[in-house]
Amino acid sequence: MTNVNDDAKVILERISSMCLNAESVLNLCMLGFLKNKVELLDDAQRISRLVHDEENETVSMLSGVNKNDESEKNRFKTLAVVVGHIEMATDVMDNMIRHIRVKINEKLLFGDKAANEVTQLFKETLDVLKTAKDAILTKNELLRKHVCDKYDSISRLVCDYSEEHEERLIMGICQPKSASLYLNIVDSQSKVAMHIKQAIERYFSQ
């Protein structure tokens, strides 16, 4: 029979794997967006399903762990919350995949400014996912702070970009359907970063 520490180690490895796969999903979303290739989105969707499968398996493991005292119960409850936030971030990416797929299939164009803004947000959010994975493995306080600060930065960028884009829409510089997709994609970046930040904050609270 495994002890609690062994169980926790296996679960942390699974959580790290979920972060790595979520990072791959987002990277493929970015590449699909930049290259206008639905095949890359298909790959993203496939890896997303792996994250959801890992979530189900990890929650089952957490439910089956023998928790001998209250501190152990709280520890594994925290890990369950972390897993849930990573899956919710992946849910947001699933939605992003759908919006990018519409953009490609309907041959909708973004202007250079909008495309550059989306790309910048992809890179910032990818950094959040990569740092979160390392933070979970090392429990390094500097990495926790980096994730939280980066989320704040992404939130400000999304707010600024969205306001500027709405002005371009009013001026007739961009088309309504393209504008709607743009706003959904940039807002999704903020939501992904939010869920990952919440996962890290909960993880460091134990």
At 35 the pLDDT is 97
At 127 the pLDDT is 98
At 2 the pLDDT is 44
At 67 the pLDDT is 63
What is the distance between the alpha carbons of residues 35 and 45, in angstroms, rounded to a whole number?
17
Chunked mean pLDDT (size 10), the chain, 206 residues = 65 92 98 98 98 93 73 84 96 98 95 94 98 93 98 96 85 82 96 98 90
What is the distance between the alpha carbons of residues 55 and 70, in angstroms, rounded to a whole number?
24
Domain span including residue 129:
4-204
Q: Residue 142 sits in a domain of what CATH number?
A: 1.20.58.220
At 1 the pLDDT is 37
E strands, the chain, are: none
What is the distance between the alpha carbons of residues 3 and 42, in angstroms, rounded to a whole number?
40
> What total of structural domains would you count in the chain?
1
At 206 the pLDDT is 75
CB 174 within 8 A of CB 114: yes
What is the distance between the alpha carbons of residues 147 and 194, in angstroms, rounded to a whole number?
10
